Amino acid sequence: MVRVDGLNQGGALIEVRSLDKTYQRGSEEIHVLQGLNLDVDEGDFVAFMGPSGSGKTTLLNLLGGLDLPSAGSIVVAGDEITSMSGHKLASWRARHVGFIFQMYNLIPVLTAYQNVELPLLLTTLSKAERRRHVETALAVVDLADRMHHYPRQLSGGQEQRVAIARAVVTDPTFLLCDEPTGDLDRASAEGILDLIHQLVDKYGKTVLMVTHDPRAAERAGVILHLEKGVLVECQQCGRSGGMS
Amino acid sequence: MRFFPFIVANLFRKKTRTVLTVGSFAAALFLFALLATIDTTFTGGVEVAGADRLIVLNKTSIIQPLPISYRDRILQIPDVKHLTYAVWFGGMYQHERNFIPIMAVDTEGFRSMYTEFAIPQEQWEAFVRDREGCIVGRSTVNKYGWTLGDRIPIKGTIYPGSWEFNLRGIYDGTRAEDDTTQFWFQYPYLDERKEFFKGVVGWYVVRVVSPDADARVAAAIDERFANSAFETATESEKSFAAGFVKQVGNIRLIIVSIGSVVLFTLLLVTGSTMAMSVRERTGEFAVLKTLGFSDLTVMFLVLAESLMYAVPGACIGLTLAKIFTLQGDPTGGLLPFFYLDPERMLAGFVLALAAGIAAGIIPALLAMRLRIVEALRRV
């Protein structure tokens, strides 16, 4: 269940409290996020919508430990990530977060197999174990037969599937998707959304997705609207949820 | 090791650039190795010179002779253990290009003075029995394809005319740095035939009881012949060899200067390659960090990539240099030896590693400090 009032008393997978993010541009302070509260339970599929500059991607970056907030806290599975050092945060990301980008961001000189294996290089798994994990992840995204292809030999939809396999291969605590269908045609986008939905429904993954596409957002269980760094609307929220 | 395929894959991203950069390392290390070989050639004599041997020369000049009568008088000096003498002859074989370092030597003392040269006993005895006999170093013998028993015609340079010698022995060096280009024949043969400067030698070589006695014995020899018609200048063999090298010029300075320029150019080439490579892949490094690669791991990857240019380049360059030096002296016999020793190769390899790290360190630090959010915006 997703709550945005900050009144949840623990138990959520992701707990965001009074989150602020401010950038300094010259003498001007830009408040990208302001006092944001959010609780996301395990297995939730949340979509963030809003106009450009509303703070969606910034929120995703903060939740993924890619950036630090100006104020407030983020607790994920009991770990307070806003106070972690850079090195610890990198380890935490490797263990807990799967990222899916709009532009796939695969490494062009590596095959699909090698791209998916990348996060596993940071683990203590043996080569055989890594192979088993990679093959499983590629099978989940239905690309087992393309594992030795390079990104340039794949279509956009297939590249995004490889990116999804890379995101899930370590079995992370949650997935962060930044416009995962933004660079795809309608048919490919539907396929990717089906796949993400499958990860939630079949494998119980928690997914937080930023999108401009209302049809993509509708696939989520909850849609949160951001405007000027503030959550202004929550569709299909849990019964006890409400605007903070 | 698990990152190795990733690092190698990056090298093949721009094949031409990789080949050129590895080629730069190879060319630089090849040049370094050749310079080091030349340095060894010039300074090797100093390093292998006998610590307990003194050279007695005419005080006026190295080309002025000393009387043969000094032999017994030097042997009377306390702490002199052994003595031999020689005369520089020079000479050419068949053509002026084929210069050979030829010396007339003392058959009694020469062999026991230079124990670093290995000569089979029966060959030495055959040499001593034959007034026109000669012993020649392995590299010169190989160069001209001589075999034992050959009659060798030599055109004298200092002592004019045609001279003929019978090849009675071939000597080898016991160390890689030993000069195996020399040609020795009997002093009496020279003294009989020459028309001037009879009864004189070019220099004496004295072995003292211990290296500690060097200075004392050298002073005693020079004192013994002070105010005579042939005053002497005695110094240790090491000091003599060093002085000889100095006459050629400051070889080491020249080599260090050229080496430094080459190395600096290499740093610029590789540093620029690495900087370009990192700049082009800013987004990819951000993705790696997003996946959980730590700053240090990213830095390590860039440095490892830089070393992947250096290591194969160094291996290629040093191997080619070794092959080149194994072909022998490129001057056709002017150098006493031409040998690339393993220590110099190791030094070259370490130098290449250092250059690889130096070239990669700034791009590696830039990649390490890359802020993910800013870099992802550029993708």
In a domain, B243, yes or no: no
CA angle A32, A37, A42 (to 5 degrees): 120
Is residue B73 included in any domain, yes or no?
yes
Residue B51 lies in a domain: no
Coil, strand or helix at A96 = helix
Domain housing A140: 41-68+85-233
Please check whether residues B79 and B21 belong to one and the same domain. Answer: no
Asked whether residue A77 is assigned to any structural domain, the reply reads no
Which of B14-23, B123-132, B193-202, B365-374 has the weakest average pLDDT?
B193-202
Query: Which residues of chain B neighbour A166 with C-beta distances below 8 Å?
Result: 291
Which ipTM score applies to this complex? 0.91
Residue A75 lies in a domain: no
pLDDT (average), residues B290-316: 93
Inside any domain, residue A90: yes
A176 domain residue, yes or no: yes
Pick from B6, B291, B376: CB nearest A110: B6
Number of structural domains (chain B) is 2
Are residues B180 and B283 located together in one domain of the fold?
Answer: no
Give tens-digit pLDDT for A46-86: 999 999 889 999 999 999 999 999 999 999 999 999 989 88
Render the burial of A77-101: b for 16+ CB within 10 Å, e for the rest.
bebebbebeeeebbebbbbbbbbbb
The per-residue pLDDT for A73 is 94
B257 and B283 share one domain: yes
Shared domain check, B202 and B347: no
Of A67, A87, A118, the CB nearest to B291: A118
Span B251-272, pLDDT tens digits: 778 888 888 888 888 888 888 8
Cα A121 from Cα A134, distance rounded (Å): 11
Q: Which domain holds residue B298?
A: 4-46+248-377
User: Is A114 among the domain residues?
Assistant: yes
Domain boundary among B230, B263, B293: B230
Q: Are residues B118 and B39 in the same domain?
A: no
Mutate to test the interface with B, among A68, A89, A93, A115 (most CBs of B within 10 A): A93
CATH code (residue A171): 3.40.50.300
What whole-number percentage of chain A has pLDDT above 90?
71
Measured between beta carbons, the chain A residues lying within 8 angstroms of B3 are: 121
Q: Is residue A111 part of a domain?
A: yes
Same domain for B252 and B330, yes or no, is: yes
Q: Which of B174, B200, B230 is the last residue of a domain?
A: B230
Q: Which of B2, B13, B373 sits opposite A66 (nearest CB)?
A: B373
Does residue A239 have a pLDDT over 50? Answer: no
Residue B236 belongs to some domain of the structure? no
Query: For the packed helices B251-280 and B342-369, what is the interaxial angle rounded to 10 degrees?
Result: 30
Residue B31: count of CB within 10 angstroms of its CB: 18
Is the pLDDT confidence value at A242 over 60? Answer: no
What tokens appear for A150 in the block?
């390079």
pLDDT band at B46 (very low <50, low <70, confident <90, very high): low
Dist. CA A33–CA A23, nearest whole Å: 10
Answer whether residue B173 shows pLDDT above 80. yes
If asked whether residues B314 and B176 sit together in one domain, one would say no
In this structure, are B70 and B41 located in the same domain?
Answer: no
Q: Would strands B66-67 and A222-227 be described as parallel, antiparallel, or unpaired?
A: unpaired
Whether B176 is in a domain gets the answer: yes
Task: Please check whether residue A189 lies inside any domain of the structure.
Answer: yes
Total domain count for chain A?
Answer: 1
Q: Of B4, B281, B290, which to mutate for an interface test with A (greatest number of A Cβ within 10 Å)?
A: B290
**Is residue B240 domain-resident?**
no
Q: Pick from A62, A84, A102, A109 the residue to mutate for testing the B interface (most B CBs within 10 Å).
A: A109
Q: Do B14 and B108 lie in a common domain?
A: no
Percent of chain B with pLDDT over 90: 51
User: Which residues fall within 8 angstroms of residue B21, CB to CB, at 6 or more apart?
Assistant: B269, B270, B273, B309, B313
Mean pLDDT value of segment B209-232: 90
At B321, list the tokens: 């240099």
Pairing of strands B102-105, B80-88: antiparallel
Sheet of A14-25, strands arranged across: A28-40, A14-25, A71-76, A79-80
Q: Which residue has the higher pLDDT, B85 or B247?
A: B85
Q: Residue B262: inside a domain, yes or no? A: yes
With respect to residue B52, please indicate whether it lies within any of the assigned structural domains.
no
Together in a domain, B304 and B192: no
Report, as an integer, the average pLDDT of B311-323.
95
Residue A1 lies in a domain: no
Q: Which of A91, A109, A114 faces B292 most closely, judged by CB atoms?
A: A91
Mean pLDDT of A145-174: 94
Q: In angstroms, what separates the C-alpha of B314 from chain A's closest C-alpha?
A: 25
pTM: 0.72
